[in-house]
Structure 1
């Protein structure tokens, strides 16, 4: 598998860390091994935590950053919409890849993730979509080489498996070295490591108060077979996600 023998004609890339993020460069390297054409439509600035939100009350600005490379003044969901309903309206991509996110997207935290949200938006449009994230233990030394070396092989392997149209895949690469990866594991979402939200209140130099939200995380182990547990064990994890969130047992109790 190489850029000289692409599996697909066209892949659309996006992320939530912004068009200049190092993880997007890793994703472009991965996509170049899979497709003849690689299109990038990514947020102009960091949009982490925006889930699959859309900008319905503000205009979007689109700026060309290079050949088949565009920045959008909006969310990851906006980027997918602009890619599919505008830039590639008459030539839809075979696949959407979102990421590679700086940091793992695990458990219930995926509900906030813009990386996962972009993939879910692509799924809503009927395009096979995958979210990719790279775990780290040191924020200043993210092991991008793991996703860079294993990404194309993992994506190709998963595409060969196939999956239902109402599913997108959440992929996490472990915080290790490329040669220490223990292989691919299909996992359940689990609860992850999100422990709630905190609010930090400060005063700016003009004496006006402001507030900063922060996600709080814990270090407790998750159940066996979940993406958090398998990622910590050194595996590349893959969890199939869907929009359906109905709590079946609660519904049955109400009826």
Structure 2
């Protein structure tokens, strides 16, 4: 058992996935510290609040709501609210998978990335769904603690966080924990939808365009669609080695 785990999410402190994560963390540590956004922060990536103050509301023993992002929560928890640094940060359990390009936008992954930046071993966890109204939270709840234990036993680089996705399958059909690469995912672009309110004023929604793409045989999308629990190591370094090698032929280093 660990002494202390810090957990956060991007769906908000009242989200069902956070309740699942509390149960998972409770199987792994003597103390579970919950520091989560007061409101939904999906899509905020690694953002931290530099231009407005952060307010904290105490929601119970070692449980806090933050007027900020998952990144803010990681910083506030590890650097301010907890008397001693956490030995592990868990972010999730997200409502919906975080795969491919979606990891760039994900607040759940962003929370784990921020934990990594603070030197804390960090894991993002997400539960895939087909029907948003019927998310199989029981998969993450039943399997999450064992998955985290196995990953902790293996260990990983301090410059890496882990991204775990649970498939939308009946529990008896869930496959093994499988290593996968980050594929391109299902995002094909962004779009703007313009609408008109009752006062004849226009407003806009930004949303993703999604559709099938060639994922490759070792991708996170393909492994999850095959019913496996998928883990992908992620890092901040986004250097494209192929492009770097091409540019290095003509540009000084």
Is contact 2:184–2:213 with CA below 8 Å preserved after alignment? no
Is contact 2:36–2:64 with CA below 8 Å preserved after alignment? yes
What is the alpha-carbon distance in structure 2 between the residues aligned to residue 128 and residue 177 of structure 1? 30
TM-score (norm 1): 0.95
Is contact 2:112–2:161 with CA below 8 Å preserved after alignment? yes
Counterparts of 1:92-111 in structure 2 under 5 Å?
92-111=85-104
Matched position secondary structure for 1:78? helix
| Counterpart for residue 215 of structure 2 | 222
What is the alpha-carbon distance in structure 2 between the residues aligned to residue 209 and residue 57 of structure 1? 27
| Counterpart for residue 198 of structure 1 | 191
Q: What do residues 21-48 of structure 1 show as CA deviations (whole Å, max 9, x unaligned)?
A: 0000000010000000000000000000
| Counterpart for residue 62 of structure 1 | 56
Counterparts of 1:139-178 in structure 2 under 5 Å?
139-178=132-171
Is contact 2:91–2:123 with CA below 8 Å preserved after alignment? yes
Is contact 1:145–1:177 with CA below 8 Å preserved after alignment? no
Return 5+ residue gaps in structure 2 as ranges. Answer: 249-253
* Alignment partner of 1:129 is 2:122: yes
What is the alpha-carbon distance in structure 1 between the residues aligned to residue 129 and residue 169 of structure 2? 8
| Counterpart for residue 4 of structure 2 | 10
Is contact 1:14–1:98 with CA below 8 Å preserved after alignment? yes
What is the alpha-carbon distance in structure 2 between the residues aligned to residue 101 and residue 205 of structure 1? 34
Per the TM alignment, residue 206 of structure 1 is displaced from its structure 2 partner at its CA by 3.0
What is the alpha-carbon distance in structure 2 between the residues aligned to residue 142 and residue 152 of structure 1? 19
What is the alpha-carbon distance in structure 1 between the residues aligned to residue 189 and residue 137 of structure 2? 28
Match for residue 210 of structure 1 among 193, 199, 203: 203
Say how many residue pairs are matched.
Answer: 248
